[in-house]
A and B are shown apart, each in its own frame.
Chain A
Amino acid sequence: MKTDIILAGVGGQGILTIAAVIGEAAVRRQLFLKQAEVHGMSQRGGDVQSNLRLSDKPIFSDLISRGKADLVIALEPMEALRYAGWLKPGGFVVTSVTPFINIPDYPEEAVLMQTLKALPNAHLLDVDAVAKELGSSRVSNMVMLGAASPYLGIDDAALEEGIIHLFGRKGAAIVDMNLKALAAGKALVNHT
């Protein structure tokens, strides 16, 4: 088993939390994992990405080779497109449809969506709406993780344990909300 994932978004959106949950889940299933992330200047509203590699055999490189990624998980549609080219043939994109517009020349939304829809294996999801329905816009990233979960090569129970471990000290209500978000995300993909 080997899954190479690129997580993409804008600084502050919570891609590192997605990575942290997958990481905890991977440790629980005794998988090897390498996860390279971005800190420092680029975090200030710039585009951020993380390379996350999972395998049942030792992993050498922290970075994924071009054209070798199995999955792109994006919390922002333009950022999904930035990394779609890193996918191997047959690789999947799972992205939020909500644009994060903090630049003056952001592309026209309709055209952007068209390009994303034209990709061979893309799930375009309104994770923010699902999160809001659940009662907390802050769990969008866990909805996204749920939506991407069928492609990770890790079982749901491990992801749930990861969430419990990561959010445990914030209290039962927060854990519960994030678990619900994970389930809602998964349902979202199964229905599209």
Chain B
Amino acid sequence: MNNSLLLGDEAIAQAALDAGLSGVYAYPGTPSTEITEYIQASPTAKQRGVHSRWSTNEKTAMEAALGMAFAGKRAMVCMKHVGVNVAADAFMNAAVTGVVGGLVFVAADDPSMHSSQNEQDSRYYGQFALIPIFEPSNQQEAYDMVFDAFDLSEALGTPVMLRITTRLAHSRAGVTRRAERKENDLRFSTNPSQFVLLPANARKQYNALLAKQTLFQEASAKATSNKYTPGADRSKGFLAAGIAYNYLMEHFPNGCPHPVLKIGQYPLPIEAVKTLAADCDELVVLEEGYPLIEEALTGLLDSRWVIRGRIDGLLPRTGELNPDHVGVALGFPAVTEVEVPEQVRMRPPSLCTGCGHRDVFEALQVVYKEKADECRIFGDIGCYTLGYLPPFRAMHACVDMGASITMAKGAADAGLKYPVAVIGDSTFTHSGMTSLLDAINDRSCITVIISDNETTGMTGGQQSAGTGKLEAICQGLGVEPDHLHVLVPLKKNFDQMVDLLRREMAYDGVSVIIPRRECIQTLSRKKRS
């Protein structure tokens, strides 16, 4: 069949469509966004009526996907690694209920934090939930694994995780497609207690999940992505998971002389690990993210074996791997750091020229300077986090989606006089509404700026769940009409914005200011089309 050039994300999306997907559920987040965008743009998906509208956050996405799998159809849910934290309640319990239709949970990790606040490893979540995990090494394998993942999910009645990292998500390669499979018909569980997690039912379901572990182990033993290749040089053996396998093989175009166990599916194939261990005294683990396999080996094998990897410092403990790190681990001479001439300066990202967030920070900066000792600004996740950088320098915290409002509230409780929260419209509906309700119920003395660009800007301008509804949401939550303001963040309104900020920061209660102007990126795209 035809060979198309696809990003890892796109290969996953195309595979899901070809494997009979009925709905994708997601909140935008780098590096996972392009999976859902690909399905949204697909004529086949449109014609089949495959659900692909953005969800308000990762938890609602996970629950909706579970609902679709409850009804017997194939669903995919996609998110970045930190989104898994938001979805975790639904995710952990979906492992206990199990599924009827196939459910593939895509977690896109971001080692090196190219566009994230941490580099947590989602495989721990998969292990924690006791479900199988697939980890592709390239775009073609990602495509093929989606088929296997859906089949395994349905055969064993369990959600499965597909774990990728930035490098695979955002790298393009040729992918060969398979024939399209029909979507499932509506079908429900014959067990009336399966999805009702009352303690008595949940205990049964949990035991059922534990009983499936042997089957998961058997699936890993049979998986073609878990491949043992013997080698003549047994001075050491390699376990290489996901894309780390490529960095190993890159150094051996004619085949690796050492025994290699390639890992593409978890739970770890224990027998294959033991076969490798029987051949070698020293094992080197190459894995992207945290040292999950390396830690597991210390439990599987006794102290006769030397286990090397990220824990013992053979490879860096943080950041994504690359061919150079792995070369050093293989004993090749280290390539010296590339010398960048002194003239080359850092070019950090910055808010676009003409962006409304700029006007917000310019005004905020003025008021902050007036009250610096008694004022702190709590930021949130989005383009406006760049308000931390010069020339604004107007941000003191940025932790997780929605934390701006609740951290400002906590600081107000502690006695900070002028806490200001800055949050975007999409982040507000994702996780800020409940925060605002807490502040209102406590009559916290905080000023909340919902900087509304009517899109999810940072990830490329996806539809924002609250567009056109923000005032109604704030009023519904209990913001007093006199302390709810909307204005247009433009140079000509600078004085108005500064005055408003001064006035509302002095108010002893919750104020909400909504500077509203469309993202200039989405605006210019509309004009061009």
Contact = CB atoms under 8 A, between A and B. Distances in A.
Given A36-B167, A38-B170, A105-B345, A63 B322 contact: yes
Contacts of B199: none
B339 A85 contact: yes
Nearest to A66: B335
Given A36-B170, A62-B246, A45 B349 contact: yes
Given A44-B386, A63-B322, A107 B345 contact: yes
Nearest to B110: A40
Given A36-B171, A66-B335, A43 B324 contact: no
A44 B168 CA distance: 21
Contacts of B245: 60
B194 interface: no
Is the interface on chain B under 10, 10 to 19, 20 to 34, or 35 or more residues? 35 or more
Nearest to A62: B171
A102 interface: yes
Contacts of A103: 345-348
Interface stretch (A26-34, A143-151, A174-182): A26-34
A46 interface: yes
A191 interface: no
Interface in B314-328: 322-324, 327
B41 interface: no
Contacts of A157: none
A103 B171 CA distance: 29
A151 to B, nearest CB: 20
A36 B33 CA distance: 16
Contact of A81 (B5, B335, B343, B348): B343
A81 B250 contact: no
B171 A34 contact: yes
Interface string B11-42: 00000000000000000001101100000000
Interface string B130-172: 0000000000000000000000000000000000000110111
Contact of A41 (B30, B34, B344): B30
A111 interface: yes
Contacts of B115: 39-42
Contacts of A115: 341, 343
B174 A32 contact: yes
Interface size class of A (residues with CB under 8 A): 35 or more
A35 B30 contact: no
A89 B31 CA distance: 34
Contacts of B5: 23-24, 27, 33
Contact of B460 (A39, A45, A66): A39
Contacts of B30: 39-41
Given A27-B174, A39-B460, A40-B459, A61 B345 contact: no
A97 interface: no
Interface string A140-174: 00000000000000000000000000000000000
Given A40-B458, A44-B350, A103-B347, A67 B114 contact: no
A78 interface: yes
Nearest to B343: A107
Interface in B169-199: 170-174
Chain B contact residues: over half helix, strand or loop, or mixed? Answer: loop
Contact of B349 (A11, A23, A34, A106): A11
A86 interface: yes
B208 interface: no
Contacts of B33: 39
Contact of B344 (A27, A81, A102): A81
B330 interface: no
Chain A CB within 10 Å — which of B243, B345, B352 has the most? Answer: B345
A37 interface: yes
B388 interface: no
Nearest to B327: A65
Contacts of A11: 349
B249 interface: yes
Given A40-B114, A78-B344, A103-B347, A35 B173 contact: yes
Q: Which one of B170, B243, B344 has the highest number of Cβ atoms from chain A below 10 Å of its Cβ?
A: B344
Interface string A85-126: 110000000000000001101110001100100000000000
A161 to B, nearest CB: 13
A82 interface: yes
A60 B343 contact: no
A10 interface: yes
A45 B352 contact: yes
A44 B355 CA distance: 11
B347 A10 contact: yes
Contacts of A23: 5, 172
Nearest to B335: A66
A66 B174 contact: no
Contact of A34 (B172, B253, B337): B172
Contact of B247 (A27, A61, A112): A61
Q: Which of A57, A79, A103, A106 has the most CB of B within 10 A?
A: A103
Nearest to B168: A62
Interface in B233-252: 243, 245-247, 249-250
Contact of B249 (A45, A60, A64, A105): A60
B250 A42 contact: no
A23 B351 CA distance: 30
Nearest to A100: B347
Given A34-B172, A42-B349, 8 more contacts: A10-B347, A42-B114, A57-B253, A61-B247, A61-B322, A65-B335, A102-B347, A107-B344
23 contacts: A23-B172, A27-B174, A33-B172, A34-B171, A34-B173, A39-B170, A41-B30, A42-B115, A44-B350, A44-B383, A57-B253, A60-B247, A60-B250, A61-B250, A62-B243, A63-B247, A63-B322, A78-B343, A81-B341, A81-B344, A86-B338, A102-B350, A111-B343
Pick the 10 closest A-B CB pairs, nearest first: A40-B115, A40-B30, A85-B338, A46-B349, A44-B349, A107-B343, A60-B246, A36-B171, A61-B250, A41-B115
Interface of A: 10-11, 19, 23-24, 27, 32-47, 57, 59-67, 78-79, 81-82, 85-86, 102-103, 105-107, 111-112, 115
